[in-house]
A and B are shown apart, each in its own frame.
Chain A
Amino acid sequence: MEPILNRNEYTYYLVGNVDDFTERLGRVVHLGKDKIAVFKTTDGQIYALENKSPGPRGGTIAEGIISGEVLFDPICDWKISLTDGKVLDPDTGQVRTYPVQIHGNEVRVGLLKNEGGLLHE
């Protein structure tokens, strides 16, 4: 798919249509070398997080259970906020998030330009 350029420090890439994602079921997107778990909430919001469990046993998070804007890690059952990737009480930690843009039916996920996103000077 074509990279879509952005004036900010992110480069946004088209990863699919809104309908390619099922409510409350995560889907893995390989964006360059980044492995990203993309989630659609019941409200239709789409979030992209690094597909890596913050817990001590490692593993992936795309298979977790989604409740509202919270993800239950499938390996360690920690609660992860979809909005900012923060691990919620009583545990602590941070999952990396990626910005998401929805244009019409298109879902685009942003990569930092200096981290594999397209540099276009």
Chain B
Amino acid sequence: MVKVQERRHLVLIGNGMAGINTVEQILKLAPSTYRITVFGSEPYPNYNRIQLSYVLEKSKAVEDIILNDWDWYLENGIELHTGTTVTHIDTEQKIVKADNGIKVPYDTLIIATGSNPFMLPVPGADKEGIVGFRDIADCQNMLHAADQYKKAAVIGGGLLGLEAAKGLLKLGMDVTVVHLFEEIMERQLDHTASLMLQAELESQGLKFATGKQTEEFLGDDRVSGIRFTDGTTLDAEFVVMAVGIRPNTALAKKSGIEVNRGILVDDFMRTSVPDIYAVGECNEHRGITYGLVAPLFEQGAILAKYLCGVETKPYEGSVVSTQLKISGVDVFSAGEFMDAEGLSIVRMHDDWRRIYKKVLLRGGRIVGGVLIGDGKESSRLQQWIRTGTVMTEAIHDAIVGQASVETGNTAADLADEEIVCGCNGVTKKHIVDAINEKGLTTVEEIKVATSASRSCGGCRPVVEQILQYVLGDKYDSAAAKQEAICSCTTLSRDEVVTAIKEKGLITSKEVRYALDWDNPEGCSKCRPALNYYLGMIWPAEHVDEKDSRFVNERMHANIQKDGTFGVVPRMYGGVTTPEDLRLIADIADKYNVKLVKVTGGQRLDLLGVKKEDLPKIWKDLGMPSGYAYAKALRTVKTCVGSQFCRFGTKDSMGMGIILEKKFERLDMPAKFKLAVNGCPRNCAESSTKDIGIVGNEGAWEIYVGGNGGIKARLAELLCKVRTDEELLEIVSAFMQYYRETGKYLERTSEWIERMGLKSVTEAVVNDLDNRRALAERMEVALAQVKEPWSEILNNSNLRERMFEEINVSTKQD
């Protein structure tokens, strides 16, 4: 018998970005080396802590900043203990103990406990209403305070303090930033930059009390104000302490691991105790503790390799950069920023435009820079600083010049291990490998494959340079940019849709005029696309432009190669009656139909109908159009289900008919197919449908993004629901989300690959508010649809001009 080697047990203390990023790297390098257990004090899966300020200013919900959802842990076989704090490490027995009594032995232990906000040790600091700004709970505290109180003080004029202050301001509080020094962000900005930033923030409504040292917090149980050492006071009902962070070393210290300011580690993140490592903000490396995201990813990458036995160079420290995440203020700082001897400085200061740019050179090489008011070049500047690029005319022009100048591609200078995407910890090598292994050709594809540039998008120019560098001659700059919707314009789908909404454009003529189309009447690509986008955005206001419809959608029938048409009436859920069948048979005879075909969508197609006979056949049929020609819901294919089938657990025919009746006639970006099955035998073939629904005992499974056509793709599980109401709401939200974000003619199979199943799930399943809002917008759109065959029958003018041909005799009588 083969003895299976027991997998080594890796325990991670700290469920944050540093630790989980390390685990992700380990899973990539050697997926089966470790059995993994993770402890986290917070009751959430790993989230993007640097985006907490977005949650505070309410531009993102907590769910939006989750990096690894619960399923990720499950899929990777990770045992996760959230809301659980490890209280002791027995380094002799190699066991960790948690506050809820759990004891877990480890072979390898990673400490990634991060840092704590530093609370000023002054009298009154324990009063109610004084919080740090570190985690989701703090964020929720602040949101809650903003509802109840008016006056807030933020102590600390650094990055974190300013973000918190701006967030509270946006929530309607009266906010004063208290800072020990005369200048805010004095650790990242020089005098000029600091004053400009302060002026900008003041103009937005923030108040500042600089050069103030806090002596005491006033108030009874709850804080009511602050007294400073100069004797002055400030009223404050709510105080956020953001004076700095301290590595969270308590557990390590207690367990006998060597600690200075942080947990001491060597160049491979090894602590003083064998088999115990520390990564991220909790550690101290070569005398430095880091409080920013890029270093912790760099450390994580090296630790992961070390633990997987992959050769790695040692960690030698990081160049840190700072970017202020406050809407409306561009602030960037990296490397050296203060004037000093031995530095040459390129400086541009424009008080009128409120722009300040400074690049610091040592021996001609770029070693630091500050950008205020215009951060366009920040990602490239950061790259130049990291690689110590030599200043050139082109770079000089790009930074301080007026015209935008091609600065050449410096991607080759980047080391493989450089973190390109700070939000998601993606290195240059990840990107290069993905391009080579998967044959990627666009930034969008790289985004999907590696997550680079997925979050804030700041690194997109660098990602594009890497793509260009790897592909060489094969690089297609046009394809790499967002594809223009047609050759009449350079604008992409998203740009056009945004402009339609922002400028309130209602007709396609207005769009072409306002957006400066090259071709005033458009082309066969943009005309139908614009007609769709306008109808999607303005369901009640936009008038369908028949002349912009493809022939089939205009004639409401399928044109055949001989110029005749196919007629497909609705047969909801593929269910019919003897009466309807008799009627269809009689009509087929009456109009001398050339062929009757049972379609793949479970209905009948009458083929070989003359154009002028179409309205007559519709009239005789008296049935609604089956939309077999349209970029819309085609059919809902069903199996027999519980009404008759021995295996059926759900009434698939009933549900299919409800769905088809609810969503028929609505314009979609492309054709749309549904299936409903009564049991997992899946006789109605859910896996190749845009939405495939599978009934189980007590639940419906919803699969999405399937396609049985040109590019076959199996549908993926979106979610499982218990009730019919939930099923309808999620189907509705999914269809509306696709309508709102899909490119015209893009099937869900391509759309879902572009968007990512995860983000779609988040938008239409998990985010309940968004899901409801989508379903509501869907109802508005559905309220506008009309049955097209009867519309044409009731409009003699339309009927005549569109369907009747003119006969002129040339014979003279």
Listed in ascending order, the chain A residues whose CB lies under 8 Å from chain B are: 1, 3, 11, 13-16, 20-25, 27-32, 38, 42, 57-60, 63-68, 72, 74, 77, 109, 111, 116-118
- Contact between A29 and B808, CB atoms less than 8 A apart: yes
B333 within 8 A of partner (CB): no
Interface size class of B (residues with CB under 8 A): 20 to 34
In the complex, chain B residues whose CB is within 8 Å of the CB of A42: 521
- Contact between A24 and B524, CB atoms less than 8 A apart: no
Partner among B551, B554, B559, B808 whose Cβ is within 8 Å of the Cβ of A30: B808
- Contact between B802 and A25, CB atoms less than 8 A apart: yes
- Contact between B812 and A3, CB atoms less than 8 A apart: yes
Listed in ascending order, the chain B residues whose CB lies under 8 Å from chain A are: 519-524, 527-528, 546-548, 550-551, 554-555, 559, 561, 563, 611, 801-802, 805-812
CB distance from A28 to the nearest CB of B (A): 4
- Contact between B550 and A74, CB atoms less than 8 A apart: yes
- Contact between A13 and B547, CB atoms less than 8 A apart: no
A-B contact pairs, 29 of them (CB 8 A): A14-B808, A15-B806, A15-B808, A20-B801, A20-B806, A21-B801, A23-B547, A24-B521, A25-B801, A28-B611, A28-B805, A29-B805, A29-B808, A31-B808, A32-B808, A42-B521, A57-B561, A59-B561, A64-B524, A65-B524, A65-B527, A65-B528, A65-B547, A66-B547, A67-B519, A68-B521, A72-B523, A109-B808, A111-B810
CB distance from A80 to the nearest CB of B (A): 11
Which chain A residue lies CB-closest to B802?
A25
Known: A27-B801, A67-B523. 5 other contacts (CB 8 A): A15-B806, A24-B547, A25-B554, A27-B806, A111-B810
What is the CA–CA distance of A20 and B523 in the complex, to the nearest angstrom? Answer: 25
What is the CA–CA distance of A37 and B555 in the complex, to the nearest angstrom? Answer: 16
What is the CA–CA distance of A20 and B548 in the complex, to the nearest angstrom? Answer: 19
- Contact between A32 and B810, CB atoms less than 8 A apart: yes
- Contact between A118 and B812, CB atoms less than 8 A apart: yes
What is the CA–CA distance of A63 and B801 in the complex, to the nearest angstrom? Answer: 12
- Contact between B808 and A1, CB atoms less than 8 A apart: yes
Closest 8 CB pairs of A and B: A32-B810, A72-B524, A63-B551, A24-B547, A67-B521, A28-B805, A29-B806, A74-B551
In the complex, chain A residues whose CB is within 8 Å of the CB of B520: 68
- Contact between A13 and B548, CB atoms less than 8 A apart: no
- Contact between B802 and A28, CB atoms less than 8 A apart: no
In the complex, chain B residues whose CB is within 8 Å of the CB of A11: 810
In the complex, chain A residues whose CB is within 8 Å of the CB of B523: 65, 67, 72
What is the CA–CA distance of A32 and B809 in the complex, to the nearest angstrom? Answer: 5
In the complex, chain B residues whose CB is within 8 Å of the CB of A13: 808, 810
- Contact between B519 and A68, CB atoms less than 8 A apart: yes
Centre residue among B523, B546, B550, B810 by max chain A CB count within 10 A: B810
Centre residue among B527, B547, B801 by max chain A CB count within 10 A: B547
In the complex, chain B residues whose CB is within 8 Å of the CB of A64: 524, 551
In the complex, chain B residues whose CB is within 8 Å of the CB of A23: 547
